[in-house]
Structure formats: C-alpha cells, structure tokens
A and B are shown apart, each in its own frame.
Chain A
C-alpha cells in the first residue's frame, strides 16, 4: 500500500487495467487461472506472499477491483472529514493539485495520499490515515457524508470550566458530610453520647468530605490546564483564532523538506523554526534539529 521510495506518478495503477492486445490478454488469463489453482486465497499468509513471483502477483491483482484516482482521493477526504468531525483524528486537511493528493497534517505528523493509493508521511497522522486509504479503495466500503463543519475547533472555541454545576453539587455533598462528621464529634465530646461509633463515623464522614472537596479542586485545576494545553496544540497544528496570523511554516515547505529527507536526497537535517521565540510551528511534522544548518526548502 505504501511506498515512499519514489515519486508517485499518479497513473501507475490506473492504466494497467486496460486491455492491450489479445495475446497478452490470453496469457494473463492463463496465468491468473494458474495462480488461482496454486494459492489458496482464503488462507493467504506471508509465506505465500514471499513465494509469489512478481508476474504471478500482477496476474492475480486486478486493478479494476480497487477504487483509484480522483475518486479515491474524494472518498479519502470525505472519510477523513468524518473522522476529524468525530475527533478520532487530530489533523488539518488539505487538497493539493501538483501532484493530486490529499494532505493531512498536525503538530505530530503528516500524511500525503496520492491518486494511486500510496501514502507517505510520519507520526500519528500517518498511522490514522493508512487504514482509511485501504478502506476507501474498496467498493464495499460506504463513506458517510461528513458534517458541514468538520474542522477542529479554533483555540478560542475551546471552552474550559464546564461542568461547574456538577462541581457545585459535589461541593454541597462534601460540605454536608463534613458538617455531619463534625456534629458527631461534638456530640461525642460534649453531649454525652457514649458510643465509640459516633467518633468513628464522624472521622469517616470528615475524610469523605475532604476527599470530595479535593476531587472538585483537582477537576477544576486539571480542566484549566488541559484546556490551555489543547489550545496550544491547536495553535501548534496551525489553527489560529480569526484575526491572528499563524506563526507557522506553510505546509508545502515542510512537506517538501521532509519528503526530500525521507527519500534520502542528501542527509541534510531539517530546520523548520520560523523565528526565535515562537512556539507554534516548531517542527510541524518534521524532525527538527535546531543545531542543524539552515536549509532553504
């Protein structure tokens, strides 16, 4: 499915389905029948795969059975929109025309899907996109229509401090527990309640109340920090509040550099930092090495 070894031409798997001439067709048919005979495709493992020759593989593989080309890209884009809308994938989507491809990127990686179904990229985004491409190339897979607003929220849309009402209720319970606990203690000390059960239960209630207050305090604190962290990550992925300019390397530059590095065109280290003192866009999907020399992408 994936090969990052050479430049995809976008027409590799598309044209092999057209018939060339009768003789070649017949031999392919014969070979295909032979392959069907030789291998059990219901129980096809890595060992069989290793045994197969390239010709046999080409004969058995029917490119018409797979969706490729523009159609595939459209399906992949729609499916990814669905996944981003349900927040299963954290990425920003983009369509490029040269070569035609669907691009998904975040602060933690990127993936490029080409028309022939090959995928390049790195990081979590690549891991999330790969199975999508495989699914979308199958006829039997139905892609649902994505919602209109599928994008990740802008940083200012992320609202922290929700669930305050629940916090209030928990605090009410905690306060009541502490009051009850103190009441039991006071009764045992001053009101002549003899039994040992009173202070024990009182202590129990007190501990419970303190724990519940701690629970609420922790929830509020972690909520504030997490909301802020999520905003930071959104900014790092290049999503900014309206009216703000992203301090962000354009995707093309980073992708070209990363691709160049991945293909081993010189083992130059990448430096994607834009300007000192910005933390957005530091290493957008590329393994940045700040100590490396500047490269102009």
Chain B
C-alpha cells in the first residue's frame, strides 16, 4: 500500500452508520408516504383523473410530492444510514494557494505559445 509511495485512496476514517431512532422513524414514515403516493399516481392516471382540469393539477401535485419525498428519503439515507468514510485524496490547487508569499503578488506570466497552452489544458499528461 504505502510501498508504492502514493497514499491516495487510503481510508483515513471509517465510522459505522449512526442509525439514530429518530432517523429510522422519519425514513419509515417518508417511505410509507412515498409508496402510497406512487400507488395513487398510477391508479389515478389509469382511471382518467387527468381528464378534468382540477384532476390534472391534482395528478401533477402528486407527482411533485413523490419526487420531493424521494429527495428527503435519499438525504436521510445518506446522512444516517451510510458509514462515514474519509479517503485520502489529491489536494488540488486552490485560489488561496496562489499568493502565499508577498513577492508572488504579481503572479506568473503565461509563457510559451497559445497552442501549447491549449494542449496542456486538454491533455492532462502533456509534458511539463
């Protein structure tokens, strides 16, 4: 693992899922609502609820509820039912890395010709 000299991908922290009681109750309720509304939407569409103006809006509302509810279910699932994993990643350059020293304030000039710059931007392994 470390003999390769690269530590990227190493697991730095692995904490099991929290699975708090409140989250469990919430996700059960949301799931029940989701199931009911999916069934209701299907039933309504087959029975022609959408043929009247109000019914059509009602069906649209049900569809909206289905997807919003699903979003909340997934958010809860991510937060409470997946383990907390931290992985070693490559630190990308950020803007705050640019002017660490006072004499760097003028930045660096973009040397070379433009075509080289394009190649470098498109192809990550281009020679430095």
Q: Interface residues, chain A, CB within 8 Å of chain B?
A: 45-47, 87-88, 90, 107-108, 123-124, 158-160, 162-163, 165-167, 169-170, 172-173, 176-177, 179-180, 183-184, 187, 191, 193, 195, 197-198, 201, 205, 208, 219, 223, 226-227, 229-230, 232-233, 236, 279, 282-283, 287-288, 290
Contacts and interface: CB of A to CB of B under 8 A. Distances in A.
A201 B59 CA distance: 12
Contacts of B124: none
Interface in B84-126: 85-86, 88, 101-103
Contact of B1 (A123, A162, A197, A232): A232
A167 B2 CA distance: 34
Given A90-B12, A165-B19, A180-B41, A124 B7 contact: yes
Contact of B7 (A108, A180, A183, A288): A108
A142 to B, nearest CB: 25
Contacts of B3: 282-283, 288, 290
A39 to B, nearest CB: 15
B102 A176 contact: no
Interface of B: 1-3, 5, 7, 10-17, 19, 24, 27-28, 31, 34-35, 38-39, 41-42, 45-46, 48, 50, 63, 70, 73-74, 76-77, 80-83, 85-86, 88, 101-103
B122 to A, nearest CB: 31
Contacts of B31: 169, 172-173
A173 B102 contact: no
A128 B102 CA distance: 26
8 contacts: A163-B82, A166-B17, A187-B42, A193-B46, A197-B50, A201-B45, A201-B63, A229-B11
